[in-house]
Amino acid sequence: MHDEPEAFAKWKGEMYAWEVDPSKTNPFNPKVETLMQATIHLQLTRDDVQALRDGTRVILHNDVSPSMLIGSGLDLEEQQYIHIGSRFICNFMFLILFLDIVFVQIKCL
């Protein structure tokens, strides 16, 4: 049923222990840091700055960098997910198509 039965058994034990004594570590709290969209935008901007310094920036448009296109795609996907909700899969596929077009343009340069 589970790919890692030992890990699941350990987590299950932690869960039961926490239910008995809530002062123990909560096993439902995430153990990995989640990347926020703002963090991704910041890293993409830093990558653009470094590419400009190195002279390796790919120019798709004078005013729009590849990372700005990717960031716009992420923003668009988030807006569609918030407003449409149940149609998330359709919107996600649109994002994949959008990013595919961007990467094809980059490869053509």
One digit per residue, the tens of pLDDT, for the chain of length 109 reads 456 788 888 888 888 898 899 898 888 887 777 777 778 878 888 888 888 888 887 777 777 777 778 878 878 877 766 655 555 555 666 667 667 666 666 665 5
Q: Decide: 69 and 60 in contact? Cβ < 8 Å.
A: yes
User: Is this structure's pTM higher than 0.75?
Assistant: no
CB 1 within 8 A of CB 9: no
What's the pLDDT score for residue 68?
A: 78
Q: What is the DSSP string of 50-99?
A: HHHHHT----SSSS--HHHHHHHHHHHHHHHHHHHSTTHHHHHHHHHHHH
